[in-house]
Chains A and B, each alone.
Chain A
């Protein structure tokens, strides 16, 4: 029996055919792979070029910045960083301080208030829950520019113009529907039996949130924190409208001041400061995205 199958000429030719097909497939696959990689590398170069350009511009002598597309500076102007820091009427130390205060408060406010609201929508029973939820979701569709003027008038009435209050207080009032939605979705996939077990263990709704839901939602919280950080840190319009005193300016507003000055010679310094302004975002992202991964591993939820 074995003999016949082994020496069956048909069997051999089928085996060879199969190997030939496998080989052509493998060849085609590796060729495809090469093309795919080349394509992706080109795409990512295109994506990253502006960033590289900015970094290189921050190191170039002023006359080279717009003159050439070539990225490598003829001469490294590290001085741009030193001079840029104090080039404006107020030092960048101050601008960073302002930005950090606003951003940190906003992140804390957003994470706390939005997770409260999300917990209510995901777990508590109250009248008109679905209606409130859809109303909240509708605010996602409203462009910021539409609410800008009414909001400005409101804060004017409150006498909050020229303070950080309009930039920070709303963050503590769960105004960002996107984060609430993100967290509601996350909370909903936590098993309800956990809440019930906690309830039997004598937890109040707040304690359930605090001791069970929140520790298990670190990935969602970290995601919200990252987005909240990025959006607040790079927010230009908000500070532009509500802040008038240069001493209160945030980093993006300060960068803009380089342009409003008459002298053209500060481009290098401006790009140097622009590069520095990305560093906090980068650091924050690196730290918090690790929390996302850790959180998912820790919860061990299937």
Chain B
């Protein structure tokens, strides 16, 4: 096990800056998830930690050892690739043992580790098969097996589940979480799937355009997003954003009217974010607006209602699955000021009611 520490790490491809000076501390034994939209630099960051990509500037240390110039194989870490990258011409057993025999490890030790991995991942019957004779989920297991036989102090995963179908993905997610609990090794995991991120992570790092937007526990990210990007990226469906103007301790919302916020708020533009689940239906809440239902998405346990307000803006509202909303119905929405999120003109969080909440 080992912590990883990135200090002003920077990556340029030619003149294009893919990673802008990122500082990141990964604690020993932590499950850190890197999320962000496509092309934001998650893979690049992970590959730099792995040693597959040179860093342009900064330092990366693993367990207090600066590894900038240490080759990938000597960083004592394992990586699981999105495409699995199993060696097609080797049996599963050889795939698992290949790295160990390269390290000149004694045969009995190799056999013990391979057998251990096979037991943990339940791939015992597959050992003599070639990768092409495996299903996607089995390949995934072998890829993970190849990572764990090395008994590394750090695991890196680059979207390991994205090639699996939905059901298998859920199953492998649970298995990975179980593996983590069992091994307790530090893991850095790249995904763009929010559910994976929220369910597995000890902490999540949200990246956007090569910047680290926020680092925190899933709870912190969901409840106290530090900026508008994180607010709309975490949580599904997206948070509703109401652009407004703050004046004299209150914010003037279109449709909803004036929402008093107290002294903490300075004048100027202010965005009010309300998650679909935070809308109140009926007379509860501090301000209200009425609208017409333009679409109902029924998911079973819950439903998402698109509500068009008088100004034409559409709000997404979450309601319990047993509700009886229909297309065209009038509905009255309420916002509670304590449940909303506030962002200033620079897009940063204004921590108005955070203390009482936490």
Binding site for B on A (CB under 8 A): 191, 193-194, 196-203, 207, 211-212, 215-216, 298-301
Tell me which residues across on chain B come within 8 A of A301, comparing CB atoms: 88
Closest residue on chain B to residue A300 by CB atoms: B132
Can you name 8 extra interface pairs (CB under 8 A) apart from A199-B52, A200-B79, A212-B87? A196-B85, A197-B85, A202-B99, A202-B102, A207-B102, A211-B98, A215-B89, A299-B89
Q: Are B88 and A200 in contact (CB under 8 A)?
A: no
Q: Are A202 and B52 in contact (CB under 8 A)?
A: no
Closest residue on chain B to residue A197 by CB atoms: B85
Within the complex, which residue of A196, A203, A207, A216 is in contact with B88, where a contact is CB–CB below 8 Å? A216
CA distance A300 to B87 in the complex (A): 10
Q: With A300-B130, A300-B132 in contact, is A197–B88 under 8 Å at CB?
A: no
Q: Are B99 and A200 in contact (CB under 8 A)?
A: yes
Q: Does B131 touch A at the CB level, under 8 Å?
A: yes
CA distance A258 to B246 in the complex (A): 105
Shortest distance in angstroms between B46's beta carbon and chain A's nearest beta carbon?
12
Q: Does B229 touch A at the CB level, under 8 Å?
A: no
Shortest distance in angstroms between B212's beta carbon and chain A's nearest beta carbon?
24
Pull 30 A–B residue pairs with CB atoms less than 8 Å apart, ordered by A: A191-B85, A194-B85, A194-B87, A196-B72, A197-B79, A197-B81, A197-B85, A197-B87, A197-B146, A199-B71, A199-B72, A199-B73, A200-B50, A200-B77, A200-B78, A200-B79, A201-B102, A202-B74, A202-B99, A202-B103, A203-B73, A203-B102, A212-B87, A215-B89, A298-B89, A298-B130, A299-B88, A299-B89, A300-B130, A300-B132
Shortest distance in angstroms between B208's beta carbon and chain A's nearest beta carbon?
25
Q: Does B194 touch A at the CB level, under 8 Å?
A: no
Tell me which residues across on chain A come within 8 A of B73, comparing CB atoms: 199-203
In which size bucket is the chain B interface? Answer: 20 to 34
Tell me which residues across on chain B come within 8 A of A299, comparing CB atoms: 88-89
Closest residue on chain A to residue B77 by CB atoms: A200
Closest 6 CB pairs of A and B: A300-B132, A201-B99, A202-B73, A193-B85, A202-B102, A197-B85
Q: Does B83 touch A at the CB level, under 8 Å?
A: yes
CA distance A158 to B225 in the complex (A): 76
Q: Are A300 and B79 in contact (CB under 8 A)?
A: no
Fill in one digit per residue for B142-153: 1 if any A CB lies within 8 Å of its CB, else 0. Answer: 000010000000
- Of listed B50, B83, B85, B99, residue having the most chain A CB within 10 A: B85
CA distance A198 to B74 in the complex (A): 13
Tell me which residues across on chain A come within 8 A of B146, comparing CB atoms: 197, 201
Which secondary structure dominates where chain A touches chain B? helix
- Of listed A215, A298, A300, residue having the most chain B CB within 10 A: A300
CA distance A207 to B130 in the complex (A): 21
Closest residue on chain A to residue B98 by CB atoms: A201
Tell me which residues across on chain B come within 8 A of A200, comparing CB atoms: 50, 52, 72-73, 77-79, 99
Within the complex, which residue of B52, B74, B102, B132 is in contact with A196, where a contact is CB–CB below 8 Å? B52
CA distance A201 to B98 in the complex (A): 7
Q: Are B52 and A298 in contact (CB under 8 A)?
A: no
Q: Are A300 and B131 in contact (CB under 8 A)?
A: yes
Closest residue on chain B to residue A199 by CB atoms: B72
CA distance A211 to B97 in the complex (A): 13
Shortest distance in angstroms between B184's beta carbon and chain A's nearest beta carbon?
21
- Of listed A194, A199, A200, A201, residue having the most chain B CB within 10 A: A200
Tell me which residues across on chain B come within 8 A of A300, comparing CB atoms: 88, 130-132
Tell me which residues across on chain A come within 8 A of B85, comparing CB atoms: 191, 193-194, 196-197
Q: Are B102 and A193 in contact (CB under 8 A)?
A: no
CA distance A82 to B145 in the complex (A): 64
Q: Which residues 64-83 of B have a CB within 8 angstroms of A?
A: 71-74, 77-79, 81-83
Shortest distance in angstroms between B326's beta carbon and chain A's nearest beta carbon?
33
Shortest distance in angstroms between A247's beta carbon and chain B's nearest beta carbon?
44
Closest residue on chain B to residue A216 by CB atoms: B89
CA distance A201 to B152 in the complex (A): 12
CA distance A300 to B92 in the complex (A): 14
CA distance A197 to B99 in the complex (A): 9
Within the complex, which residue of A193, A216, A298 is in contact with B81, where a contact is CB–CB below 8 Å? A193
Closest residue on chain A to residue B74 by CB atoms: A202
Q: With A200-B72, A202-B73 in contact, is A298–B88 under 8 Å at CB?
A: yes
CA distance A209 to B40 in the complex (A): 32
Closest residue on chain B to residue A295 by CB atoms: B89
Tell me which residues across on chain A come within 8 A of B79, comparing CB atoms: 196-197, 200
CA distance A82 to B79 in the complex (A): 66
Closest residue on chain A to residue B103 by CB atoms: A202
Q: Which residues 311-328 of B have a CB within 8 angstroms of A?
A: none
CA distance A35 to B74 in the complex (A): 67
Shortest distance in angstroms between A221's beta carbon and chain B's nearest beta carbon?
13
CA distance A300 to B102 in the complex (A): 24
CA distance A198 to B50 in the complex (A): 13
Closest residue on chain A to residue B132 by CB atoms: A300
Closest residue on chain B to residue A201 by CB atoms: B99
Fill in one digit per residue for B251-294: 1 if any A CB lies within 8 Å of its CB, else 0. Answer: 00000000000000000000000000000000000000000000
Tell me which residues across on chain A come within 8 A of B131, comparing CB atoms: 300
Tell me which residues across on chain A come within 8 A of B102, comparing CB atoms: 201-203, 207
CA distance A115 to B78 in the complex (A): 30
